[in-house]
Amino acid sequence: MNRRIFLYGTMGAIAALAGGSFLLRERSGYRAMAETFEVTRTEAEWRKILTGEQYAVLREEATERAFTSPLLEEHRKGIFHCAGCDLPAYSSEAKYDSGTGWPSFWEALPDAIGTKQDNSLFMTRTEVHCRRCGGHFGHIFDDGPPPTGKRHCLNGLALAFRPATA
Ligand SMILES: [Zn+2]
Protein backbone atom coordinates (compact mmCIF):
# COMPACT_ATOMS: atom_id res chain seq x y z
CA MET A 1 0.00 0.00 0.00
CA ASN A 2 1.18 3.49 -0.78
CA ARG A 3 1.95 4.94 2.63
CA ARG A 4 1.28 8.51 1.59
CA ILE A 5 -2.16 7.69 0.22
CA PHE A 6 -2.96 5.77 3.38
CA LEU A 7 -1.86 8.67 5.54
CA TYR A 8 -3.93 11.24 3.67
CA GLY A 9 -6.92 8.90 3.67
CA THR A 10 -6.74 8.63 7.43
CA MET A 11 -6.37 12.37 7.81
CA GLY A 12 -9.36 12.86 5.55
CA ALA A 13 -11.50 10.61 7.73
CA ILE A 14 -10.42 12.48 10.85
CA ALA A 15 -11.09 15.83 9.19
CA ALA A 16 -14.53 14.61 8.13
CA LEU A 17 -15.34 13.67 11.71
CA ALA A 18 -14.01 16.96 13.03
CA GLY A 19 -16.13 18.78 10.46
CA GLY A 20 -19.19 16.90 11.65
CA SER A 21 -21.80 18.36 9.40
CA PHE A 22 -20.40 17.19 6.08
CA LEU A 23 -19.66 13.51 6.48
CA LEU A 24 -20.34 12.78 2.84
CA ARG A 25 -17.90 15.44 1.73
CA GLU A 26 -14.71 13.55 2.06
CA ARG A 27 -11.78 15.90 1.58
CA SER A 28 -10.39 18.37 -0.89
CA GLY A 29 -6.89 18.98 -2.12
CA TYR A 30 -6.07 15.31 -1.72
CA ARG A 31 -5.80 14.37 -5.33
CA ALA A 32 -3.76 17.38 -6.35
CA MET A 33 -1.02 16.05 -4.09
CA ALA A 34 -1.21 12.49 -5.40
CA GLU A 35 -1.57 12.90 -9.17
CA THR A 36 -1.47 15.46 -11.94
CA PHE A 37 -3.88 15.64 -14.86
CA GLU A 38 -3.92 16.72 -18.49
CA VAL A 39 -6.71 19.23 -17.88
CA THR A 40 -6.05 21.42 -14.85
CA ARG A 41 -7.90 24.53 -13.71
CA THR A 42 -7.79 26.69 -10.64
CA GLU A 43 -10.54 26.40 -8.06
CA ALA A 44 -11.96 29.73 -9.30
CA GLU A 45 -12.01 28.53 -12.90
CA TRP A 46 -13.80 25.32 -11.97
CA ARG A 47 -16.35 27.28 -9.96
CA LYS A 48 -17.10 29.38 -13.03
CA ILE A 49 -17.66 26.36 -15.28
CA LEU A 50 -19.54 24.11 -12.87
CA THR A 51 -22.72 24.52 -10.85
CA GLY A 52 -22.28 24.48 -7.06
CA GLU A 53 -23.48 20.89 -6.87
CA GLN A 54 -21.23 19.75 -9.71
CA TYR A 55 -18.28 21.44 -8.05
CA ALA A 56 -18.95 19.68 -4.76
CA VAL A 57 -19.05 16.28 -6.46
CA LEU A 58 -16.32 16.62 -9.10
CA ARG A 59 -13.80 18.68 -7.15
CA GLU A 60 -14.58 17.87 -3.50
CA GLU A 61 -15.79 14.28 -3.82
CA ALA A 62 -19.21 14.95 -2.37
CA THR A 63 -21.86 12.30 -3.03
CA GLU A 64 -25.22 13.29 -4.46
CA ARG A 65 -28.32 12.04 -2.66
CA ALA A 66 -29.57 8.68 -3.92
CA PHE A 67 -32.46 8.68 -6.43
CA THR A 68 -31.96 12.36 -7.34
CA SER A 69 -30.24 12.01 -10.71
CA PRO A 70 -32.32 12.42 -13.88
CA LEU A 71 -29.80 10.09 -15.53
CA LEU A 72 -31.33 7.14 -13.66
CA GLU A 73 -34.18 7.35 -16.15
CA GLU A 74 -31.94 7.94 -19.17
CA HIS A 75 -32.36 4.87 -21.34
CA ARG A 76 -31.40 6.21 -24.75
CA LYS A 77 -28.29 5.10 -26.63
CA GLY A 78 -25.43 7.50 -26.23
CA ILE A 79 -22.34 8.47 -24.32
CA PHE A 80 -21.96 9.86 -20.82
CA HIS A 81 -19.23 12.50 -20.80
CA CYS A 82 -17.28 13.96 -17.90
CA ALA A 83 -19.19 17.06 -16.78
CA GLY A 84 -15.87 18.76 -16.01
CA CYS A 85 -13.86 18.37 -19.22
CA ASP A 86 -16.27 16.60 -21.62
CA LEU A 87 -14.17 13.45 -22.01
CA PRO A 88 -16.39 10.55 -23.23
CA ALA A 89 -16.39 8.28 -20.17
CA TYR A 90 -19.20 5.69 -20.21
CA SER A 91 -21.41 4.14 -22.89
CA SER A 92 -25.14 3.50 -22.52
CA GLU A 93 -24.27 -0.08 -23.56
CA ALA A 94 -22.68 -0.68 -20.15
CA LYS A 95 -25.40 1.07 -18.11
CA TYR A 96 -27.75 -0.96 -15.94
CA ASP A 97 -30.21 -0.45 -13.13
CA SER A 98 -28.44 -1.42 -9.90
CA GLY A 99 -31.34 -0.33 -7.70
CA THR A 100 -28.97 1.77 -5.57
CA GLY A 101 -30.26 5.16 -6.70
CA TRP A 102 -27.07 6.11 -8.50
CA PRO A 103 -26.35 5.71 -12.23
CA SER A 104 -24.47 2.42 -12.56
CA PHE A 105 -22.26 0.92 -15.24
CA TRP A 106 -20.35 -2.35 -15.50
CA GLU A 107 -17.43 -0.78 -17.34
CA ALA A 108 -15.97 2.54 -18.47
CA LEU A 109 -14.86 3.44 -21.98
CA PRO A 110 -11.20 2.58 -22.73
CA ASP A 111 -8.69 5.03 -21.25
CA ALA A 112 -11.44 7.17 -19.68
CA ILE A 113 -10.96 6.71 -15.96
CA GLY A 114 -8.41 6.60 -13.18
CA THR A 115 -8.85 4.97 -9.78
CA LYS A 116 -7.37 5.26 -6.34
CA GLN A 117 -7.85 3.65 -2.98
CA ASP A 118 -10.21 5.64 -0.78
CA ASN A 119 -9.93 5.01 2.96
CA SER A 120 -12.40 7.67 4.04
CA LEU A 121 -15.47 7.02 6.20
CA PHE A 122 -13.65 4.03 7.78
CA MET A 123 -14.04 1.91 4.65
CA THR A 124 -11.67 0.88 1.92
CA ARG A 125 -13.23 1.67 -1.42
CA THR A 126 -12.03 2.16 -4.98
CA GLU A 127 -12.59 5.75 -6.01
CA VAL A 128 -13.10 6.44 -9.73
CA HIS A 129 -12.36 9.73 -11.47
CA CYS A 130 -11.95 11.24 -14.92
CA ARG A 131 -8.59 10.29 -16.42
CA ARG A 132 -8.24 13.72 -18.04
CA CYS A 133 -9.27 16.27 -15.41
CA GLY A 134 -9.33 14.22 -12.22
CA GLY A 135 -13.01 15.02 -11.60
CA HIS A 136 -14.53 12.61 -9.07
CA PHE A 137 -17.15 10.30 -10.58
CA GLY A 138 -17.93 7.84 -7.78
CA HIS A 139 -16.73 4.42 -6.61
CA ILE A 140 -16.27 0.93 -8.07
CA PHE A 141 -17.59 -2.13 -6.25
CA ASP A 142 -17.30 -5.87 -6.92
CA ASP A 143 -21.03 -6.65 -6.94
CA GLY A 144 -21.80 -5.75 -10.55
CA PRO A 145 -23.32 -7.90 -13.30
CA PRO A 146 -21.49 -9.92 -15.99
CA PRO A 147 -19.32 -9.65 -17.97
CA THR A 148 -17.10 -7.66 -15.58
CA GLY A 149 -18.74 -8.20 -12.19
CA LYS A 150 -17.99 -4.54 -11.46
CA ARG A 151 -20.40 -1.83 -10.39
CA HIS A 152 -19.26 1.68 -11.24
CA CYS A 153 -21.53 3.62 -8.89
CA LEU A 154 -21.50 7.16 -10.22
CA ASN A 155 -22.86 10.58 -9.38
CA GLY A 156 -25.14 11.75 -12.17
CA LEU A 157 -23.95 15.30 -11.42
CA ALA A 158 -20.50 14.32 -12.65
CA LEU A 159 -21.80 13.25 -16.06
CA ALA A 160 -23.26 14.92 -19.15
CA PHE A 161 -25.29 12.64 -21.44
CA ARG A 162 -25.08 13.01 -25.22
CA PRO A 163 -27.61 10.88 -27.13
CA ALA A 164 -26.37 9.03 -30.20
CA THR A 165 -27.31 10.94 -33.34
CA ALA A 166 -27.59 8.03 -35.76
ZN1 LIG B 1 -12.92 15.21 -16.95
pLDDT mean over 28-40:
67
CA angle 30, 79, 115 (to 5 degrees): 25
Position 30 pLDDT exceeds 70: no
Question: How far does residue 101's CA lie from ligand 1's centre (Å)?
Answer: 23
| pLDDT value for 121 | 87
Question: How far does residue 137's CA lie from ligand 1's centre (Å)?
Answer: 9
| pLDDT value for 125 | 96
Position 1 pLDDT exceeds 70: no
Percent of the chain's residues with pLDDT above 90: 75
Name all domains of the chain by residue range, CATH numbers in brackets: 3-163 (2.170.150.20)
What residues act catalytically?
153
Question: How far does residue 40's CA lie from ligand 1's centre (Å)?
Answer: 9
Whether the CB-CB separation of 137 and 155 falls below 8 Å is answered with yes
Q: What is the DSSP letter of 66?
A: T
Residues 121, 9: Cα–Cα separation, whole Å? 9
Does this model's pTM top 0.85? no
